[in-house]
Structure 1
Amino acid sequence: MRYRTLFLSIAIFAFSIGTVHAAGFPTKPINLIVPFGAGSTTDLAARSLANAVKDMLPEPIVVVNRPGASGIVAAASVANSQPDGYTMLMSRVSCNGAVPALNKKTPYKVDDFTFVGITELNPFVICVLADSPYKTLDDLIKAIKENPGKLSFGTSGALSMLDIVGMMLLDAAGLPQQAAVSVPYKGDGDAKTALLGGHIQFIPNNLSPMADVMKAGTVRALAVTTKERLENFPDVPTVAEAGYPALSGAVGWSGFFGPKGMDAETVKVYAEMLQKMKNDPEWLKATKLLGAIPNVLTPEESKAFVMKQYADFEALGKKLNIIVQ
């Protein structure tokens, strides 16, 4: 009987340690590493998240921009950091899905992370300047066909989602990848600036950084990759309506990931935080204003989602023969 009582006491004590650990986390500021520059879709999503949860944690989340190599620099730094919950990644479809699927030399694997939660989805819009001669997506494709290698589009790096959507567009039009020139920038915000400056002719960008200039009439969106037209931009046709349904599956996303091997209790703290955030009116409003679709998933759902994305990108890479071994 005494042994049973002692065993129960030890079990209760061990459980209480775990509970205190979770309740006491965090005890210092958390660095949220952003793979792209200030003003990028990821940066905006990270700052919106940090602001939304500032009263849910005893310590702040500090956004740290670490752009480079299509997000590989930031993702690799988080994958190699201590799994203590104090270095987290604002993950993106490019560095956490497309890049490891298409570039086998990437210094981390797709599952080298703790998938705390997907937070939002972000469709793509194919845009040109408002004074561009291209009024429709067909106009743009025709110009590319007639001027092979002359028109250029901006990306946030090789094998970034902007680059991949550009390749998907050319493939859907039956054109070789060399038909248009892919120009890499540090982030989609920089690529947007290049379009506004007339340095490139078009851009397949996330809706978030383009929404303001679309509303202002500075750029013209030729198509959006959603299945239905956007509520805030009802005049923009879907890619299916424009004649390129293969692009309907192109969607960006943001997630809150950590290094592989994080403590289950720490993951629980963060997962519960995200579940509270998804019902926060201010976060929902800010996310929608950025042109994104709120879509908070559990850790289990997030892992399944990412692995499906990885498999889809790998299949696309094989089709286009662009996988780097």
Structure 2
Amino acid sequence: MLMKKLRKLLAANTLLASATIATASTAVMTSTTAYASDYPNKPVNFVVGFGVGGSADRMTRAMSSFLADELGEPIKVINKKGAGTQIAANYVLNRPGDGYTVFASTFAPYLSNTILKGNASYTIEDFSYLNFQWFDMDLIAVNKESPYQSLQEVLETIRNEPNKVRASVVQGSAGHLMLRLLLDVNNIPQENLALVTYNSGGKARSAVAGGQVDLISISAQGSEGIREFLRPLAIVSEERSNKWDAPTINEALKPMNTEVAVLPGSMRGFAVSTEFKQKHPERYQKLSTAIQNTLASKEVQSFLNKSDIGGVWVGPEKADALMKQNYETFKKYAHLLND
């Protein structure tokens, strides 16, 4: 399954990152200026598909200063939230394909869902994925002050007391789809859950941390900052997490005699328009190499680890394959994302 493949990929890349860091001075010997001596010669815009404070935004801002040093020009972070990242995606595609506009986002599952459910005019092939550096499983949790002690209890309350349970999700996310799927497999009417959707992970988390909603389904690693406000009920994974004291999603569903598909979680990173890659392959290579070199830095890895932000290098070819796999997976369940 895709999640198993991702775990193997991450394990392999952890070893690769260690080896790369240890030999950073010799791993990429070719000077990036050899690829495109005139690029960049002005600031590069990194367009985030979400609001300030979400996981993709934090990743981009954490990387921006280090990448700027590598490229030799400033990086400007621009937030274009809305429509499940479709606004940002269209913005990137409508800018000149010259390498001065980079798409920074949680590509899986949002980009797939804008195509499947958002009537986007683009396809996943319109983007070239430079790297996915941060993989994350989803967490289902409630505010720690809520009365709910298990996923079964929450679902039975939704079944028997319509609109009593309020939940927050990011529009079009894997967490959004998982809540829909949980109701579907347990024959609970979708309208029984009072679901509040947000365009930013930061806002969705603030809602449950502040008690405005009872339940949340969202990326686990990005929720470290609100851990003290949460009671975890399940991890959307085939294996338990050593960071969250919670059963796997299907372990949590055993008392209800049901199971759900273990959906792949978030994949965050950077992409550019395919037009840019085709028109300026040397610039594309320089940008890709800059990201690889940045992630090979001990200083960068230390900063990302302290900030609970992923920092693996999988490269363009693997990122492209993972994006296509994600699209096919979410295509199977896209019919549930009807608000």
Counterpart secondary structure, 2:238: coil
Is 1:129 the counterpart of 2:143 in the alignment? yes
Determine the C-alpha separation between the residues in 2 that align with 1:59 and 1:19: 13
Is 1:57 the counterpart of 2:74 in the alignment? no
Determine the C-alpha separation between the residues in 2 that align with 1:106 and 1:290: 33
Residue 241 of structure 1, CA deviation: 2.7
Residue 327 of structure 2: aligned partner: 310
Residue 155 of structure 1, CA deviation: 2.2
Determine the C-alpha separation between the residues in 2 that align with 1:287 and 1:168: 33
Determine the C-alpha separation between the residues in 1 that align with 2:185 and 2:58: 30
Q: Percent identity?
A: 26
In 1, are the aligned partners of 2:85 and 2:110 still within 8 Å (CA)?
yes
Determine the C-alpha separation between the residues in 2 that align with 1:57 and 1:34: 19
Q: Structure 2 residue aligned with 1:229, among 237, 240, 261? A: 240
Residue 166 of structure 1: aligned partner: 179
Report the AA paired with residue 303 of structure 1: D
Residue 279 of structure 1: aligned partner: 296
Task: State the TM-score, normalizing by the size of structure 2.
Answer: 0.80
In 2, are the aligned partners of 1:82 and 1:259 still within 8 Å (CA)?
no
Q: Structure 1 residue aligned with 2:130, among 106, 112, 116? A: 116
Residue 52 of structure 1, CA deviation: 3.5
In 2, are the aligned partners of 1:80 and 1:259 still within 8 Å (CA)?
no
In 1, are the aligned partners of 2:47 and 2:103 still within 8 Å (CA)?
yes
Residue 196 of structure 1: aligned partner: 209
Q: Cα deviation per residue 1:36-70 (whole Å; 9 max; x = unaligned)?
A: 11111111111122134232110122211111111
Superposition map of 1:1-325 within 5 A: 22-92=36-106, 93-103=108-118, 105-157=119-171, 159-214=172-227, 217-233=228-244, 235-243=245-253, 246-262=260-276, 263-289=280-306, 291=308, 293-318=310-335, 320=336, 322=337
Report the AA paired with residue 37 of structure 2: A
Determine the C-alpha separation between the residues in 2 that align with 1:289 and 1:168: 34
Determine the C-alpha separation between the residues in 1 that align with 2:299 and 2:248: 28
Determine the C-alpha separation between the residues in 1 that align with 2:46 and 2:311: 19
Structure 2: state its 5+ residue gaps: 1-31
In 2, are the aligned partners of 1:115 and 1:256 still within 8 Å (CA)?
yes
The 4+ residue runs of structure 1 with deviation greater than 3 A are 18-21, 281-295
Task: State the TM-score, normalizing by the size of structure 1.
Answer: 0.83
CA spacing shift, 1:286–1:180, aligned 2, 3 Å: farther
Determine the C-alpha separation between the residues in 2 that align with 1:174 and 1:28: 56
Residue 71 of structure 1, CA deviation: 1.3
CA spacing shift, 1:19–1:185, aligned 2, 3 Å: closer
In 2, are the aligned partners of 1:37 and 1:67 still within 8 Å (CA)?
yes
Of stretches 168-177 and 197-206 in structure 1, the one that deviates more from structure 2 is 168-177
Report the AA paired with residue 175 of structure 1: I
Counterpart secondary structure, 1:50: helix
Residue 170 of structure 1, CA deviation: 2.0
Structure 1: state its 5+ residue gaps: 1-17
Residue 89 of structure 1, CA deviation: 0.7
Residue 223 of structure 1, CA deviation: 1.5
Residue 34 of structure 1, CA deviation: 0.7
In 1, are the aligned partners of 2:47 and 2:79 still within 8 Å (CA)?
yes
Determine the C-alpha separation between the residues in 1 that align with 2:290 and 2:146: 45
Determine the C-alpha separation between the residues in 2 that align with 1:302 and 1:161: 18
Determine the C-alpha separation between the residues in 2 that align with 1:51 and 1:70: 26
Counterpart secondary structure, 1:145: helix
Residue 230 of structure 1, CA deviation: 2.7
In 1, are the aligned partners of 2:127 and 2:274 still within 8 Å (CA)?
yes
Instruction: Choose between structure 1 and 2: higher helix proportion.
Output: 2
Determine the C-alpha separation between the residues in 2 that align with 1:185 and 1:47: 21
